A and B are shown apart, each in its own frame.
Chain A
Amino acid sequence: EDQVTQSPEALRLQEGESSSLNCSYTVSGLRGLFWYRQDPGKGPEFLFTLYSAGEEKEKERLKATLTKKESFLHITAPKPEDSATYLCAVQESTNAGKSTFGDGTTLTVKP
């Protein structure tokens, strides 16, 4: 069965203090790894899809990378508006209809 583990559970940063979030996964054939952002009281919002080891995607202050066993979400010079829960999810190559999510990392950026 697919497994996704995210660490740390919570991360508190000062504005401008860069850091990384980790997503370790076990899947029998990866179709894609997805990063979502979730604000309190809202549904998750798509950020990135990564398909193969070595792939990188960037969007503003966020950069996602992928290896065969884990993915990192790097946050460069974060701002308070980056505060949210970041969720990682995987899809199997044989069952793209089901996404398995981790429990997320809750990021708080203090001004």
Chain B
Amino acid sequence: DTGVSQNPRHKITKRGQNVTFRCDPISEHNRLYWYRQTLGQGPEFLTYFQNEAQLEKSRLLSDRFSAERPKGSFSTLEIQRTEQGDSAMYLCASSLSGQSSGANVLTFGAGSRLTVL
């Protein structure tokens, strides 16, 4: 397995445009997470899926953000009508669920860096 893959790695866009990021998790992992990270801050939780079901979405998340995980495999994160404040690193992670010692340990991708001009 090649780990968690994210594309594109970098995206520069103009304010008001829509952008979409893709995440391919580790194939055996049933949970997939999206986090946002800005410089000097820790990752901020956005949402997570168990299989194809979106189980939680941060209440701080604007309605301009939407995530999908069709068929419980890859996921996409779309940001509509981007704003300069959306500029950040968008991190995807995956894990197994359950109570075993390795469950819920996040394996992160390298992230997708968004710059909104």
Interface residues of A (CB under 8 A from B): 4, 6, 31-32, 34, 36, 41-46, 49, 87, 89, 91, 95-104
Contacts of A44 in B (CB 8 A): 43, 91, 106, 108
Q: Which of B69-117 contact A (CB under 8 A)?
A: 91, 93, 97, 101, 103-111
A103 to B35, CA, bound (A): 13
Contact between chains at A46 and B110 (CB < 8 Å): no
Q: Which residue of A lies closest to B92 (CB)?
A: A43
Contacts of A103 in B (CB 8 A): 40-42
Q: How far is the CA of A97 from the CA of B42 in the complex (A)?
A: 17
Q: How far is the CA of A42 from the CA of B110 in the complex (A)?
A: 5
Chain B residues contacting A34 (CB-CB under 8 Å) are 105-106
A47 to B63: give the CA distance in the assembly, Å: 34
Q: Which of B33-78 contact A (CB under 8 A)?
A: 33, 35, 40-45, 48, 50, 55-56
B108 touches A99 (CB 8 A): no
Measured CB to CB, the closest approach of chain A to B8, in angstroms, equals 14
